[in-house]
Amino acid sequence: MEDYYQIKEEKETTTKAFLSGKYSFLINIVLFLVTFFTTTIAGVSWIAGPVAAFNLNNFHLGLPYSISILFVLGVHEFGHYFAAKYHKVKATLPYFIPFPIMYGFLNFGTLGAVIKTKSVIPDKKAMFDIGVAGPIASFIASVGLLIYGFTHLPGIEYIIQIHPDYFSPLKNPDALELEFGSNLIYLTLQQLFTNPEIDFVPPMTEIYHYPFLCVGWFGLFVTAMNLIPVGQLDGGHISYSLFSYKTHQRIADLSFISLIIFGMLGFVSEYFNWSYPIGWTGWLFWALILKFFIKLYHPEVVDTTELDPRRKLIGYFAIFIFIVSFIPAPFYIKLS
């Protein structure tokens, strides 16, 4: 009987060592590899359709997408990680979150990535630096991917190969199309780096067939979601550090109300089948998650030291990133 309990204790000790000790990085590696697989399959689905995604002979088609999206997510989380290390805050390596591809279900092959701090953040400056480093890093990475995508657009034969009837006058006028919403930075980069007289610039109903444009768009979308100035989102850390607590609360309340409005407008636009909706039902769901799980207000910290002018300037730049990256109607279905 003693041998049984001794073996059980040794197994529990080994498990704890694996999960939180020197072998814990193996969990990060496994999750990364699984996410690499699910995002590659998602990449095939975006380019060649969901049926092709389940044929592993097409696996290579999804690599530009998966490598790009893991790059953007990794840059974001390592921004947090290295900022934490700079301030001597213990933090885990990034945990990538896979999401399986399901036939007929829209997804990007991942639910993102996270790191976890394992020690107390010492002061407001450290909290600000850790919070702001991720969004700025992923914004730069996303802009870089978009510039590359716009300057390396394939010829018109690429879209014809995917949609042989793309320019056909007999195209079904009642067909439904998934359209991605746009934002200020995407439109600006498109204007700066493309020439419609020379390039075939894909409409927002087709950018998911273009891996670098799709991931650049996705990176901006996720960056904006993280920068919503609520609770312990990155934007909440920034807002709390940058302004007084009362101002932070007002900003959080206004953000929550705005998300509710955008969510309700999404329902209205779907019901009346607006051609150019200004809302998305998903914002309503996200607002409820923020309200009841993440909470609207950032927990108060003991340190009340104001940020220095350099950090304040970086904080205002993060707000600028949020404004130019936010997409009121990121996804909607429209008639072709």
Residues 125 and 113 in one domain: no
Question: Which of residues 120, 139, 155 is at a domain's end?
Answer: 120
Distances in whole angstroms, Cα of residue 211 to Cα of each of 43, 44, 325 = 7, 10, 19
Residues 312 and 225 in one domain: yes
The dihedral built from the CA positions of residue 226, 231, 232 and 238, taken in this order, carries a sign that is: positive
d(CA 7, CA 9): 5
- Residue 83: count other Cβ atoms within 10 Å of its Cβ: 21
- Residue 63: count other Cβ atoms within 10 Å of its Cβ: 15
Percent residues over pLDDT 70 in the chain? 88
Task: Write out pLDDT tens, residues 263-317.
Answer: 999 989 887 777 778 899 999 999 999 999 989 999 988 888 899 999 999 999 9
Residues 85 and 174 in one domain: no
Split into its structural domains, the chain has a count of 2
CB 255 within 8 A of CB 230: yes
Residue spans of alpha helices (H) in 166-289: 184-193, 211-226, 234-242, 245-271, 281-289
Instruction: Give the per-residue pLDDT at 288.
Output: 93
Question: Which of residues 73, 89, 120 is at a domain's end?
Answer: 120
Hunting for tokens 């991942």 — which residue is that? 110
Residues 140 and 110 in one domain: no
Residues 142 and 279 in one domain: yes
Task: Write out pLDDT tens, residues 222-268.
Answer: 999 999 999 999 999 999 999 999 999 999 999 999 999 999 999 89
Task: Write out pLDDT tens, residues 61-99.
Answer: 999 999 999 999 999 999 999 999 999 999 999 999 999
The residue segments making up the domain with residue 99 are 1-120
Residues 79 and 135 in one domain: no
Residues 97 and 147 in one domain: no
Instruction: Give the per-residue pLDDT at 6.
Output: 47
Task: Write out pLDDT tens, residues 27-67.
Answer: 999 999 999 999 999 999 998 887 787 888 999 999 999 99
Indicate whether 169 pLDDT > 70. no
d(CA 230, CA 239): 8
Indicate whether 126 pLDDT > 80. yes
Indicate whether 7 pLDDT > 50. no
Q: What's the chain's average pLDDT?
A: 89
- Residue 224: count other Cβ atoms within 10 Å of its Cβ: 22
